[in-house]
Amino acid sequence: MIRIPGTDYLRYKSVFHGCRFPLAFVDLDHFDRNIAYVADTCKGTGKTIRVASKSIRSPALLRRVFEKGGDVFQGILAFTMEEAEFLIENGFDDIIVAYPSIQPPDVKIFTENTRQGARLSLMADSFDHLTALSRAGVAAGVILNICLDVDMSYRPLGSRLHLGVRRSPLRSVKDVLALALAAKDLPGIRIVSLMGYEAQVASVNDDLPGHAVKNTLTRWFKKNSARELAKRRGEIVRALADAGITLEVVNGGGSGSLISTARDPSVTEVTAGSAFFAPGLFHYFHQVTFQPAAFFGLQVVRRPAPGIVTCQGGGYTASGEAGPSRLPWPVLPRGLKYIGMEGAGEVQTPLVLPKDAPVLEAGDPVFFQHAKAGELCERFNRLYLVKGKKIADEVPTYRGEGHAFL
């Protein structure tokens, strides 16, 4: 469980004195500690870590992960083909685009970059995906690298209970083997890797304050799920090997499952992205603890009543199931609360101060974390990089580079 020290309020306030708000920043000391922590989770396992770029969305910070983290960090899990091309242009290599797309502009990027020698793969989970890519590969005279996506959800009661994301229809050994064998007969493509993302382990909090019973139950489900999926994943990998299909990569997991996924013998690499910014939804994990590193600051512009301040901007709601956890998390000063009828507003965000809070005046900052990691960068062109009590640098986000990939 994470608790952001209240003293950080005065530090960040003084760092940004005189700056224009709203602003977003990354605390480099915390970011670097997260890089070292993530690297440590794989120590002694022989696994490498693939960086989920959607959870960073800034080339400079992506680069920092590889520079500071060393060889254990290998490759990027990208979220669109256009993004992959942008990353290749920026000097990154070994990219798996984690979500399928067979629209012609994406397929063109895929074939052209493959022709130019990029190490690039695209996710697929159906015969339709494979035939479209096969046709494109043949037409372009290249062999396209394909990663198969396997559903790693947990279904303890069969189809009556689905815990996990709804993405790939491939679930059983039989499903995966049938598609992989079909792919063997298709020209212009080859299966090089397998990915299975266990969202029900990697992205579900199980150390929520004040929820002891729920936490215990969630951990129990996660443990059972990790056991079930490790068995199934192992069987799938073995069946593919027996059929002569050699996988270069077996990818699994995410930030919240770094430890359990790295222990899975059939996995060759684990994905991590949100771990580096450690946003609101990554505060409460039992097995892993990150340092909150990415924040945004708003300025108090008015005081509508005693005990309430109103900030300029702030409605940076996260994707996913709509609910209070997707609102930005006001973290500094500690104890600030939204007003239920307003939440985080398009241009104004009122906040209720706790009884013991310092007085906030117009012009004072309030600091938040986005609920999710990379989405913060869709609201800001630049990120300040803070080191100790100083702004060390400023770097562009994807948006600042003129890109909105999704």
Ligand X SMILES: Cc1ncc(COP(=O)(O)O)c(C=O)c1O
Give the residue at shortest CB distance from ligand X.
254
Is residue 270 within 8 Å of 253, Cβ to Cβ? yes
Is residue 102 within 8 Å of 130, Cβ to Cβ? no
Residue number, 278 or 353, with CB nearest to ligand X: 278
Residue 196 backbone class (left: φ over 0; alpha: ψ -120 to 50; beta: rest): beta
Q: Which has the closest alpha carbon to 49: 237, 226, 261?
A: 261
Report which secondary-structure segment, H or E, holds 249.
strand 249-252
Residue number, 102 or 152, with CB nearest to ligand X: 152
Residue number, 205 or 255, with CB nearest to ligand X: 255
73 beta partners: 49
Residue number, 106 or 198, with CB nearest to ligand X: 198
Question: Rounded to an integer, what is the distance from CA 25 to the centroid of its chain?
Answer: 18
Report which secondary-structure segment, H or E, holds 27.
strand 23-27
Residue number, 136 or 272, with CB nearest to ligand X: 272
Q: Which has the closest alpha carbon to 294: 386, 167, 160?
A: 386
Residue 307 CB, shortest distance to ligand X, in Å, is: 36
Residue 173 CB, shortest distance to ligand X, in Å, is: 21
Residue number, 82 or 364, with CB nearest to ligand X: 82
Helix (H, G, I), strand (E, B) or coil at 186: coil
Residue 249 CB, shortest distance to ligand X, in Å, is: 13
d(CA 49, CA 42): 8
Residue 254 CB, shortest distance to ligand X, in Å, is: 3
What does the longest C-alpha to C-alpha distance in the chain come to?
A: 72
305 beta partners: 308
Q: Which residues bind ligand X (CB under 6 A)?
A: 52, 55, 77, 98, 197, 202-203, 254-255, 271-275, 373
Residue number, 251 or 310, with CB nearest to ligand X: 251
Phi/psi of residue 334, each to 5°? -75, 150
Residue 381 CB, shortest distance to ligand X, in Å, is: 22
